[in-house]
Structure 1
Amino acid sequence: MKIVLGSEKNVEEFIKLRMELFKELGEIKEKDNIEELIWETKQYYLQHIKKDLYCWFIEIEEKVVAVASMCTFCRIPYYENPVGVEGYILNVYTSLNSRKKGLATKLVKEIIEFSKNNSIKRLWLNSSESGKNIYKSLGFIEKENEMEYFI
């Protein structure tokens, strides 16, 4: 098993695992035309990787089986985060055949370590029910005060 920090060369693996995640969550269906989503995802990945998007992949026997991503951004500093840099963790996903081996935990630990070494003072995420115990075991605290608005 090998953990790899993603680069431009990992774009196809990223897209494949992200589409698997969306299908599993019911966000896309087999019959949906996802060509535009795939194209836009590829453009985003290539423009942002290692700038404000970081992705970690787990390879087992040279096959990518898991991914976790973090988007970073800077907000106005506040008491708990005087630097203002934050990381939003998303797309933590393990392929069906590789689950229950602690891979997601390993990836999130990698993100935490990277954040400590790069002055990212706050990490946050939205979790599926099945992922909550992973995050809680690593020290994440559940909050219920977020709202969203789609335009």
Structure 2
Amino acid sequence: MNTDTEYEGLSIKPGEDRLISALNATIRLGIRALAILMTLVIFWGIADVVWVIYQHMVEPPFLILRIEDILDTFGAFLAVLIAVEIFLNIVLYLKDNVIHVKLVVATALMAIARKVIVFDFNKISSEHVMGVGAVILPWASPTG
């Protein structure tokens, strides 16, 4: 952690106003609680993936997955992976007191990719597809 005049997030510096230090400590405690809750969400997500696979495997035709079943399973998997990315964002913030923009962008791109993968093109409008395309297009630069 750098001790000069740069912004250091929620770090606590010796000699800093006691009120600000107490508020920063409280926020950091809240962020730790978010990390614990995100861990629970990840485990619930894993249980959901198992449940989705189980449900699709016991439905007739048995032990055969249809395309819709595979897309449901992919959606559940990717939701867990997004939760893991969010957990990593929280942990890195607690360690470094800095928001890692690249990891946040990677998490957002994974969420967009999940949305695109699980699209049911029979149920969504063309405007919805174009809107998601408009969100994705700026991230497609070769310099990123």
TM-score scaled to structure 2, two decimals? 0.29
Bigger CA radius of gyration: 2
Higher-helix-fraction structure? 2
